[in-house]
């Protein structure tokens, strides 16, 4: 167990966590960020972010996260590149175990964000890294002159497909409905790209291949007609689910795992606050996550002040 008792431990390292850390450290609260081995959250897997204010030409997701991390560290936050393994929120101070060490704190901000959703079809798990992927900016160069499919109809799917056309000869977008939910500006880019073919009203039944992806079996949701598409890669872009498993039990959440908020950023446990995609199923933007991080930090500072004698 570490000797020090931090004022706040922030679990997570996306925009909400790092914004929270900027505010808690500037509020003179000793701050430990348990940031995870793959730190930075979803923006580490994206290319250009065009809608984060202050960057008129856009900013690369990883550059933005690195800048936020440096800013938090400049004000004195300690950044731990370890995964949070367990939390004990029934004791005071609270205990967060990471990298085999127990860290203690007077308050906690849960800012763990959200994890990739998978299709859960046969062949998917087996072929991850051998044609099944979730990050076009990371893996697109492997698909030079190849044929790939992106599954999904949101902004992520549009973005993945666009990135892939820089390398692949052909990109299918397979969507289960007859219209996208993606923003119009993203859809316009897709419809203008001659390398992209949209396969509407279609679900993937299975991903087929021995050592690597060879083809997929798809089914039309209206006619139930089944056919196979030969291709080299499948990028799954069907959204995310809140990364809240280690808080199950003491922290109240809904049946999908989104943490419940009671009055601004407070959870059901006094001294435990929440920020970002782990509780927000509505906006899910980098800028709103950052805003929630700021709010949680201000709530923490108030809580610490109100409980300074305990
Ligand atoms: P999303 O908006 O939730 O879209 C998920 C898509 O996957 C939907 O089209 C959904 O279909 C489909 N889907 C879900 N489960 C499925 C399943 N089991 N099988 C097949 N299809 C399935 O998720 P997202 O695209 O990751 O975007 C999340 C948030 O981040 C959004 O607010 C988005 O605007 C934002 N974002 C922004 C940018 C940007 O501005 N640069 C980039 C990426 C994401 P239905 O439509 O039928 O439900």
pLDDT tens digit sequence for 207-246: 999 999 999 999 999 999 999 999 999 999 999 899 999 9
The pLDDT tens digits of the residues spanning 55-80 come to 999 999 999 999 999 999 999 999 99
User: Where along the chain do the CATH 3.50.50.60 domains lie?
Assistant: 5-115+240-307, 118-236
Residues with CB under 6 A from ligand 1: 51, 119, 151-157, 159, 176-177, 181, 203, 237-240, 284
pLDDT band of 299, cuts 50, 70, 90: very high
Strand partners, 17: none
pLDDT value of residue 6: 98
- Of the chain, the percentage scoring pLDDT greater than 70 comes to 100
Q: What is each CA distance from 271 to 105, 109, 267, 301, 304, in whole angstroms?
A: 10, 8, 8, 10, 8
Residue 82 has pLDDT above 80, yes or no: yes
Q: Residues 111, 290: contact at Cβ < 8 Å? A: no
Q: Would you call 62 exposed, middle or buried from its count of C-beta atoms within 10 A (0-12, 13-18, 19+)? A: middle
Those residues with Cβ within 8 angstroms of residue 181's Cβ, 6 or more apart along the chain or in another chain: 153, 154
Please name the residue that has the structure tokens 């492997």: 142
Mean per-residue pLDDT for 247-264? 96
Residue 93: cis peptide before it, omega within 30 degrees of 0: yes
63 is catalytic: no
Of the listed 50, 63, 138, 245, which one is catalytic?
138
Residue 283 has pLDDT above 90, yes or no: no
Cα angle 163, 168, 171 (rounded to 5 degrees) comes to 75
Superfamily (CATH) of domain 118-236: FAD/NAD(P)-binding domain (3.50.50.60)
- Residue 138 annotated to the active site: yes
| Catalytic site residue from 135, 155, 214, 281 | 135
Q: Is it true that domain 5-115+240-307 has CATH number 3.40.1390.10?
A: no
Report whether 25 contacts 31 (CB < 8 A): yes
pLDDT at 281: 87
pLDDT of 49: 83
Is residue 275 within 8 Å of residue 292, measured between CB atoms?
yes
- Looking from the CA of residue 183, the nearest atom of ligand 1 is 34
Which two structure tokens, joined as six digits, stand for 177? 């409905």
CB 176 within 8 A of CB 153: yes
CA distances from 252 to 11, 14, 247, 269, 276 (A): 17, 22, 8, 9, 16
- pLDDT score at 310: 58
Distance CA 48, CA 306 (A): 42
Task: Give the CA radius of gyration of the chain.
Answer: 21
Tokens of 293: 């991080």
Q: Do 123 and 149 meet the contact criterion of CB atoms below 8 Å apart?
A: no
Least confident of 144-153, 198-207, 282-291: 282-291
Ligand 1 centroid to residue 26 C-alpha, Å = 35
124's torsion region: left (phi>0), alpha (psi -120 to 50) or beta? alpha
Q: To test the ligand 1 pocket, which listed residue (58, 150, 153) has its Cβ within 8 A of the most ligand atoms?
A: 153
User: In the annotation, is 263 catalytic?
Assistant: no
Distance 107 CA to ligand 1 centre (A): 33
| Res 214: pLDDT | 98
């Amino acid at each position: 167990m570490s000797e020090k008792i931090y004022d706040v431990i922030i679990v997570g390292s996306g925009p909400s966590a790092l914004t929270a850390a900027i505010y808690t450290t500037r509020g003179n609260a000793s701050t430990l960020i348990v940031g995870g081995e793959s730190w930075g959250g979803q923006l580490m897997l994206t290319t250009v972010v065009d809608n984060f204010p202050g960057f008129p030409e856009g900013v690369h997701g990883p550059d933005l996260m690195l800048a936020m991390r440096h800013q938090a560290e400049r004000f004195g936050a300690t950044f731990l590149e370890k995964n949070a393994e367990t939390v004990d929120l029934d004791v005071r101070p609270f205990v967060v175990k990471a990298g085999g060490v127990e860290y203690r704190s007077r308050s906690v901000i849960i800012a763990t964000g959200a994890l990739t959703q998978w299709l859960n079809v046969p062949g998917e798990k087996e072929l991850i890294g051998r044609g099944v992927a979730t990050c076009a900016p990371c893996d697109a160069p492997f698909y030079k002159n190849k044929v790939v499919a992106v599954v999904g109809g949101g902004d992520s799917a549009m973005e993945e497909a666009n990135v892939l056309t820089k390398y692949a000869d052909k990109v299918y977008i397979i969507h289960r409905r007859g219209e996208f939910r993606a923003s119009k500006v993203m859809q316009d880019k897709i419809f203008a790209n001659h390398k992209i073919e949209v396969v509407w009203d279609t679900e993937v039944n299975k991903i087929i291949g021995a050592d690597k992806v060879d083809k997929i079996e798809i089914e039309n949701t209206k006619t139930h007609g089944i056919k196979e598409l030969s291709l080299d890669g499948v990028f799954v872009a069907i959204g995310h689910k809140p990364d809240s498993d280690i808080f199950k039990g003491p922290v109240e959440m809904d049946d999908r795992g989104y943490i419940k908020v009671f009055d601004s950023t407070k959870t059901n446990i006094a001294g435990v606050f929440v920020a970002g995609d782990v509780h927000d199923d509505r906006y899910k933007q980098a800028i709103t996550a950052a805003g929630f991080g700021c709010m949680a930090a201000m709530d923490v500072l108030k809580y610490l002040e109100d409980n300074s004698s305990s």
